[in-house]
Amino acid sequence: MNRLVAALGLALLLAAPDAHAYEFWLHAQTIGQAYDVPQYTLAGPYLLLGRRRITQTLALRIDDVGDLAAERRKSRLPERGLRISLQMYLRVDHDFGDFTSGQMILPGPVVRDALDVIPELGESVAALDLMYGYVQLDGLVDDRLRIQLGRVLADDGWGTTAFDGGAAQFQVAGPIQVGASAGLRVRASSPLGNSAYELDGTSGAGCEEYIAGATPGTGSWQLIDRNRTITNNTLSSDYEYCPQRDVAQPSVGVTIAAVRAKHFSAELGYRRTWSSTVEQVGPAQGVDQPTQPLYPSEFPGELPGSGVDEERVYGRVMAKLDANGVEIDPYADARYSVVGAVFDRADAGVRVRAGGSVIEPAVEYFYPTFDADSIFNAFSIEPTTDLRLDYRYDDHGPWRATADAWVRHYGHEDGEPSLAGGGDAGIDRAIAGGLRAKVDVLADDGWGGARFGGGGEAAWQNARDLWLRGRVIVLGVRDDDASLYKDYVTSSTVVSGTLKVADYVAVHAIAEADYDAVHQLQMRVIGVLDLAFMPEP
C-alpha cells in the first residue's frame, strides 16, 4: 500500500505542470443606492416608492496566461508571438426596495407582487450578468491574427452589442485587415444574459398566440395562457410566456478595414442576425393548455421557418490631417438596414483643432429601426436630421469652455416638417489651491418641449487623496404636450466626495436633493467602495 502511495505521489510529481504566477488586474466596485421613484396618481399626493439597490461588479484581466511572452518581456523585447489573456466583467445587481419587492393593490381589490404584474422589474431583482468574458489569443500567424472566444463584444455598425461565440481579426497586408465574428446574440434569456444587448422592440414579440377562427383567416391574437387565474385581465401579463423571445439568435459579421493608411481609415462591415420561428407553444413552455401553433399557419407557406432580426451594412471613413498647424479630422458614417431597406443612421462632420480650440460642425441622420420581428418598424417612417456645431476650448491652462448648438429637422409625411433646436455653454476655471469652478447654461425649444436653465459647480482636490464637488442646477420646463406636466421649475443640488483610503482603495459618496412643486423633495444617495486590486507581479 505504501509503495502504491509512493508510486502515485511520484507519478503526480512528475506529471505536475510548472506553477505559473499570472499577472492579473481586478477592479471591484460595491455600489449601494437609495432613491425615490414617484408612483403617479390623479388625486392626492404621489406615492414615493423607495428604490434600494446594491450592485457588485467585478472586472478581471489575466494577462499572458501560460507565461508565453514572459521571456521576451524579461529580455525587454517587444511582445510578439502568441499571448493569451482573459478579460471578463461580472455584475450582480439586486433591487430590494418597494420599487420591486413591494405589492400593488389592483381593482377587486387584489393584492399582487409588483414583480408579477410588471415582469420587466425582474431585470434587476437578482440579476447576475456576464457583460463580457472571453479568452483572447494575440500574436498568431506572425503577429497578424487575433482571436477572441467567449462572450464577445461586437459592433453592430453604430454601437456595441454582445454575442456568445468567437471573433477573429487578421492583418492581411499593409493597412488592410479583415474581421469575422459568429455566435449567438446575447438576449435577456441567454445564460447570465442582459437585456441591454438585445435588439429593441421585441418585448411583445410572440407574447400572444394566434387562435384560429371558424374558418382559416378569421382567427385573432390572444393571450397565450388563457387558463391562467387572473382577476383582472387588463392588468395581467403574458410576458413570461414569450417563446419567440427565448429563441437563439445566431449572428454573423464580417468587416474589411483600412487602418491608418497615411492618415486615413475606412471600414466596411456587415452583420446579420436571425432566429428560427417558434411553431408550437404548450405545456413544454409552462403553458397550462394543449399545445397549439404560436403563429398563423392555416395556409400553405404562410409560416416562415426563420426570420431575419437584423441585417445591416455599414461603412465609415475618417482621416487625421494637418494643415499648417491646424488639425483637421473629417469623418462620415452610414448604416443601411437591408431588412428595412433604409439608411437608418448616417453622419458626417469635421473636427478642426487650432491651438486650444476645437470646432466641429456635423450633420446626423436617424431613421429608427428595430428588431425585424417588431411591428414598430412599420410605424416608424419619419427620419430626423440634425445639424450640430460644437466648440471646445482647452489649452491645458486654467480656462476651459464648451459650447454646443443644434437644430433638428423632423421629416413629416403629411404636412409641414417641424423643428427643434437649442444650445448649451459652459466655462470653468482652475483657481488656486486645488479649487475649480464652473458655470453652464442650457436652452432648447421645439418638438418635445422647451427647457432653459443653468448650473454652478465647484470642485476641490486636496493632495490627491480627497476630492469634493458640489453642484446646483435650476431648470425650467414648459409646454411638453404629451407630458404629464405643462410648466414647472426644478432644482437639484448634488454634493459628492471621493476619499482615497489607501493605494487602489477609494470610497465615493454622492447625495442629490431634487425639489419641484410636483414631487416636493426627493433624495438620492449613492455610496461606492472602489477596489482596484493589483498584486505584485
Partner 1 sequence: MRRIAFILVLLAGAAVLADNGSDGTEWSPVVYPTQRLPLVFSHRKHLARGMQCIQCHTTAASSRSAVDNLIPTEVPCRACHAIERDKPDKQATPVAACTGCHAGFQPDRPVQRVYLTPPPIKFDHSAHGKSPCEKCHGDIRAVDLATTRQLPTMASCLECHTDGAEERHCADCHLTKLGGMIETHFEFGTLEPRRDGHGPGFLRDHVEPARAPGATCTACHDRSECIDCHQGTVKPMDFHVGNYLLVHATEARRGTPDCSACHRYESFCVGCHERAGLGTRGLSAFDANDPSKRFHPQGWSSTTKNLALNQHAQEARRNISSCSSCHREEDCLACHSAEPTNAVQASPHPKDWRASAQCRAQYRGNKRMCLRCHITPTQMGCDW
Residue written as grid cell 450640430: 388
Residue type for position 277: T
Quick one: which segment of 8-16, 97-105, 282-290, 429-437 binds partner 1 (CB under 8 A)? 97-105
Give residues 244-263 in contact with partner 1 (rule: CB under 8 A).
244, 257-260, 263
Which residues lie across from 161 on neighbouring strands?
154
Give the distance, in angstroms, between the CA of residue 276 and the centroid of all CA atoms in the same chain. 25
Binding segment for partner 1 (CB under 8 A), chosen from 2-10, 11-19, 283-291, 307-315, is 307-315
For residue 330, count CB atoms less than 10 angstroms from its CB and return exposed for 0-12, middle for 13-18, buried for 19 or more: middle
Q: Which of residues 182 and 239 has its CB atom nearest to partner 1 in the complex? A: 239
Rounded to the nearest angstrom, the gap between the alpha carbon of residue 288 and the centroid of all alpha carbons in its chain is 36
Residues 6+ apart with CB under 8 A from 227: 288, 289
Residues 329-388 that bind partner 1 (CB under 8 A): 329-333, 338-342, 348-353, 358, 360-361, 363, 366, 368, 372-382, 384-387
Compare residues 11 and 71 and give the one whose CB is closer to partner 1. 71
Residue with cell 417588431: 374
Q: Please, which of residues 6-35 interact with partner 1 by CB under 8 A? A: 23-25, 27, 29, 31, 33
Total number of residues that touch partner 1 (CB under 8 A):
206
Vertex 341 angle, CA 339 and 342, to 5°: 120
Please select the residue that binds partner 1; options are 34, 59, 430, 458, rule is CB under 8 A: 59
The answer to whether residue 57 forms part of the interface with partner 1 (CB under 8 A) is: yes
If one asks whether residue 53 binds partner 1 (CB under 8 A), the answer comes out as yes
Query: Among residues 190 and 492, whose Cβ is nearest to partner 1?
Result: 492
Residue among 184 and 408 whose Cβ is closer to partner 1: 408
Which of 318, 359, 389, 509 lies at the binding interface for partner 1 (CB under 8 A)?
A: 318
Residues 148, 439: Cα–Cα separation, whole Å: 45
Burial of 279 per CB tally in 10 Å (0-12, 13-18, 19+): middle
Residue 67 near partner 1 by CB under 8 A: no
| Residue 1 or 193 with smaller CB distance to partner 1 | 193
Q: Which amino acid is at 120?
A: E
- For 497, the grid coordinates are 466626495
Q: How far is the CB of 525 from partner 1 (least distance, A)?
A: 12
Residues 461-500 contacting partner 1, CB under 8 A: 471, 473, 475, 477, 480-484, 488, 490-492, 494, 496
Q: Which C-beta is closer to partner 1: that of 153 or that of 506?
A: 153
Shortest reach from residue 379's CB to partner 1, in Å: 5
Contact 451, 473 (CB under 8 A): no
Residue 344 to residue 481: CA distance in whole angstroms: 27
Give yes or no for a contact between 380 and 366, defined as CB atoms under 8 angstroms apart: no
For residues 60 and 90, give the distance between their C-alpha atoms in angstroms, rounded to a whole number: 9
State the Cα–Cα distance between residues 75 and 68, nearest whole angstrom. Answer: 13
Residue span binding partner 1 (CB under 8 A) among the ranges 8-16, 280-288, 325-333, 429-437:
325-333
Residue list 278-297, contact with partner 1 (CB under 8 A): 295-296
Number of H helices, E strands in the chain: 7, 29
Residues 176-235 binding partner 1 (CB under 8 A) are: 177, 188, 194-198, 200-205, 207-208, 210, 213, 216-221, 234-235
**Nine-digit cell string for 206:** 410572440
Of the candidates 327, 363, 365, the one whose C-alpha atom is nearest the C-alpha of residue 348 is 363
* Piece of the chain touching partner 1 by CB under 8 A; list 1-9, 11-19, 53-61, 279-287: 53-61
Please, what is the minimum distance in Å from the beta carbon of residue 14 to partner 1? Answer: 32
Q: Measured from the CB of residue 506, what is the shortest distance to partner 1 in angstroms? A: 14
